[in-house]
């Protein structure tokens, strides 16, 4: 007897693993290589000091006010920017999917334990990746306008036209990324205090490829003050793509091979150095690189663990929905700007 | 008034305080950046200027 069936057909098996997104590692906050300053609610005063002294011929009389010891302390208030990631979800949409199996009995129960464990849990790495991107690449609307209004130039004390273009093309964000903060800030410790171009040391740049990457790192290193190059703590901060370029350059075959970068370890433990200074790879725009002491780059925040904190609860008044909310307060800042060398700035 | 056709008092764009307005205003009309900077700047400096000035909006 033939089977007579006219309904739709469906699959009866499924891959156990849900194929998830690959998220950018939020290592700026996780590794805390730069200055992560916690414990601030709405604003932070950043103090910078500099003492200069002058040697004079021996004075056997009483000490007078000579002005030969200059104790300079400057305070810059930095406002934290409060922001959140929030939304509502309607779990009822999961009915008819694999997730229905993990919903408790009862029509009102539509929360899937499996969905929470396998999909909703990805909100935190997604937020971490977004924060990582915004810490290194992005500018506020106001800063974009201010930087666009600068007259560019090639010499020190001017922004390059390429940097202006790069900032204009950056994502518009709620706070300035570290790269943009180097370019433009309102530090009171600058040579010209207040809002304006940063006091960074400029090294003019070009489009970096595996063919010229060694020469460009040499230009950045060579442009830095000797106090920085002599410091074992000084490190490079470079775009993610440089890791590929460096390995391609180091591994070139034949006469083209020049091993200019030291690669130690592998996988998550891999470290890459140029002239014995560690290179940190972050989602920086391809125009820029930084060479400085990491502690001069600051992320000011209420609590760095905020990035991993999620409020999830049922929406009130019988709604069959849940809300999700992550709240943070953050800003970036740079200190000792005269020791920050910016490639492409 | 037409710009001068000869280079007098080269304006070095890499000097601190000189911006692209000063530099481009100093280039005589009809003269390219390469011609203006020849023998005054290095080849890599000239290459940088040519590239960077593509982004410059007056």
Of B15, B47, B52, the CB nearest to A161: B52
Cβ atoms of A185 and A193 closer than 8 Å: no
- Given an 8 Å threshold on Cβ–Cβ distance, is A161 in contact with B55? yes
> Which of A161, A165, A287, A345 is the best residue to mutate to test the B interface, defined by the most B CB atoms within 10 Å of its own CB?
A161
Render pLDDT for B10-31 as a digit per residue (tens, 0 to 9): 999 999 999 999 999 999 999 9
Chain B residues with CB-CB distance to A157 below 8 A:
16-17
Q: Which pLDDT belongs to residue A121?
A: 92
Q: Which of residues 1-58 of B touch A (CB under 8 A)?
A: 12-23, 45, 47-49, 51-57
Which runs of consecutive H residues, i.e. helices, occur in A149-281? 161-169, 178-183, 213-223, 226-229, 241-250
- Given an 8 Å threshold on Cβ–Cβ distance, is B52 in contact with A157? no
Q: Which pLDDT belongs to residue A304?
A: 86
Q: How far apart are CA A285 and CA B42, in angstroms?
A: 27
Helix, strand, or coil (residue B37): helix
Report how many Cβ contacts below 8 Å link chain A to chain B: 57
pLDDT exceeding 90 applies to what percent of chain A?
A: 83
Chain B residue with CA closest to A215: the answer is B44
Average of pLDDT values for B39-51? 94
Cβ atoms of A260 and A249 closer than 8 Å: yes
pTM greater than 0.80: yes
What ipTM does the predicted assembly reach? 0.85
Q: Which pLDDT belongs to residue B8?
A: 64
- Given an 8 Å threshold on Cβ–Cβ distance, is B55 in contact with A164? yes
Tokens 């390469």 belong to residue: B34
- Specify burial of residue A181 (Cβ count, 10 A radius: 0-12, 13-18, 19+): buried
Which runs of consecutive H residues, i.e. helices, occur in chain B? 20-26, 33-37, 43-52
Alpha-carbon A264 to chain mean position = 24
Q: Is the pLDDT of residue B2 over 70?
A: no
Domain boundaries, chain A: 27-54+66-343
- Given an 8 Å threshold on Cβ–Cβ distance, is A162 in contact with B51? yes
CA distance to partner chain A, nearest, from residue B11 (Å) = 12
Chain B residues with CB-CB distance to A153 below 8 A:
13, 18-20, 22-23
Of A151, A162, A204, the CB nearest to B55: A162
Chain A residues with CB-CB distance to B20 below 8 A:
151-154, 158, 161
Burial annotation A320-342 (CB, 10 A radius, 16+ → b, else e): eebeeebebbbbbbbbbbbbbbb
Q: How far apart are CA A92 and CA A96, in angstroms?
A: 9
List per-block mean pLDDT (blocks of 10 residues) for chain A, which spans 345 residues.
82 82 86 91 90 96 96 94 96 94 94 95 94 97 98 96 97 98 96 95 94 96 97 98 95 81 93 98 97 97 89 94 96 97 97
Chain B residue with CA closest to A156: the answer is B16
Q: Which pLDDT belongs to residue B7?
A: 55
Q: Is A332 left (phi over 0), alpha (psi -120 to 50) or beta?
A: beta
Of B19, B45, B57, the CB nearest to A158: B19
Q: Is the pLDDT of residue B1 over 70?
A: no
Residues 6+ apart with CB under 8 A from B52: A152, A154, A160, A161, A162, A204
Count of alpha carbons within 13 Å of A145, Cβ hemisphere only? 3
């Amino acid at each position: 007897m033939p089977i007579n069936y006219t309904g739709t057909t469906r699959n009866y098996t499924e891959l156990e693993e849900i194929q998830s997104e690959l998220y950018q590692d939020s290592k700026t906050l996780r590794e805390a290589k730069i200055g992560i300053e916690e414990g601030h609610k709405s604003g932070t005063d950043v103090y910078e000091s500099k003492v200069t002294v002058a040697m004079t011929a021996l004075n056997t009389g009483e000490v007078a006010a000579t002005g030969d010891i200059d104790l300079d302390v400057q305070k810059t208030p930095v406002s934290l920017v409060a922001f959140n990631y929030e939304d509502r979800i309607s779990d009822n949409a999961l009915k008819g999917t694999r997730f229905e199996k993990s919903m408790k009995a009862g029509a009102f129960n539509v929360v899937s334990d499996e969905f929470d464990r396998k999909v909703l849990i990805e909100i935190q790495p997604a937020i971490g990746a977004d924060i990582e991107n915004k810490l290194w690449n992005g500018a506020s609307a106001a800063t974009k306008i201010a930087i666009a209004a600068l007259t560019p130039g090639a010499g020190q004390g001017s922004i390059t036209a390429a940097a202006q273009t790069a900032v204009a093309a950056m994502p518009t964000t709620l706070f300035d990324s570290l790269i943009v903060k180097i370019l433009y800030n309102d530090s009171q410790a600058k040579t010209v205090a207040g809002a304006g171009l940063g006091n960074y040391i400029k090294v003019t740049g070009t489009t970096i490829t595996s063919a010229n990457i060694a020469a460009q790192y040499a230009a950045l290193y060579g442009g830095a003050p000797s106090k920085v190059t002599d410091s074992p703590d000084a490190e490079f901060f470079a775009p993610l793509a440089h890791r590929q370029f460096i390995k391609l350059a180091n591994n070139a075959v034949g006469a083209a091979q020049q091993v200019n970068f030291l690669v130690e370890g592998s996988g998550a433990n891999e470290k890459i150095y140029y002239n014995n200074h560690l290179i940190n790879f972050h989602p920086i725009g391809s125009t820029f690189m930084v060479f400085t002491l990491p502690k001069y780059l600051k992320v000011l925040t209420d609590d760095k663990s905020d990035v991993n904190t999620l409020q999830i609860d049922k929406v009130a008044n019988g709604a069959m929905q849940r809300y999700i909310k992550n709240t943070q307060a953050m800003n970036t800042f740079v200190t000792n700007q005269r020791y920050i060398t910016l490639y492409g700035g | 008034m037409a710009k001068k056709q000869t280079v007098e008092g080269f304006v070095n764009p890499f000097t601190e305080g000189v911006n692209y307005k000063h530099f481009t205003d100093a280039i005589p009309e009809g003269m390219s950046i390469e011609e203006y900077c020849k023998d005054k700047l290095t080849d890599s400096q000239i290459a940088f200027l040519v590239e960077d000035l593509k982004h410059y909006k007056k």
